[in-house]
Amino acid sequence: MTHPLDDVADDDVSGGHGQRALRLGARTFPPEELVVMAIVNRTPDSFYDRGTTYGAATAVAAAERALDSGAAIVDIGGVKAGHGPPVSVAEEIDRVVEVVATLRSHRPLAVISVDTWRAEVAREAVAAGADLLNDPWQGHDPALVEVAAQAGSGLVCTHAGHLPPRTEPHNPRYHDVVADVLATVGGLAAHALDVGVRRDGILIDPGHDFGKTTVQSLDVTRRLPELVTTGWPVLVSLSNKDFIGETLDLPVAARLNGTLAATAVAAWLGARVFRAHNVAEVRQALDMVASIRGDRPPAVARRGLGQADLHSA
């Protein structure tokens, strides 16, 4: 049995599991690099930060701190994913584009992502300097992929449980949740290629919590290798999510340890890009995984070595 993710040409891939380099903006990420994508919300009602980065200057400052703390990508969002007051297209553009333009002027080599499902917002964002369109709602606006193709930007293809934007799941049922994820993101990625999105700019995201119960999100996590073996770079958005909170019975403010555990497991299983609120902590967890895998040397390696050994090392 095949699915739309099986069309990866041999000369397009490298590294384990047929993984290829990922090219976003001025950066090229090799298959072995584990990448932090910092979350910056220009919303007054985010489930995590509750509006602490709602102001434009505050959002830019938070993005720059995240870059300095080890993030390679900054993901800017202007609409809360869950229920909340409606946000018009014009308001979302006002919230997002100013931050993108300012950050681009301050950090010309940073990779800037915009978290939106709306083509109108995406079009203004790439014009202001965004490199990646992170569509969390499964191609709800079919014109968004065309914006990515025309602009030459990257695109995140996400499984959202076949729900419209900002819809909470209600007893979602799948014969096999991972099979549904594979078929869905596979179709989105194949369509993106057909429209003209760069092959080396496409990522797939299983969409933890989106259209899923906690048990289903845990199942997706343990079966991440099935997504990895498709050859597409896998992005995971695990940070402080409800499936972590319910698994450990913890409120949002107490989910960091669970987030780091899930992050380390996902990295070991082959995920490559990690959306994170707690950038420095996630960066350290990923560095530890990379060093255990043998992809990153220890920052310091002097334990058990004498002075002569240190000088000759």
State the catalytic residues: 241, 275
Q: Are 118 and 79 in contact (CB under 8 A)?
A: no
Q: Residue 308's CB: how many other CB atoms inside 10 A? A: 8
SS (H, E, C) the chain: CCCHHHCCCHHHCCCHHHCCCEEECCEEECCCCCEEEEEEECCCCCCCCCCCCCCHHHHHHHHHHHHHCCCCEEEEECCCCCCCCCCCHHHHHHHHHHHHHHHHHHCCCCEEEEECCCHHHHHHHHHHCCCEEEECCCCCCCHHHHHHHHHCCEEEEECCCCCCCCCCCCCCCCCCHHHHHHHHHHHHHHHHHHHCCCHHHEEEECCCCCCCCHHHHHHHHHCHHHHHCCCCCEEEECCCCHHHHHHHCCCHHHCHHHHHHHHHHHHHCCCCEEEECCHHHHHHHHHHHHHHHCCCCCCCCCCCCCHHHHHHC
Q: Residue 257's CB: how many other CB atoms inside 10 A? A: 12
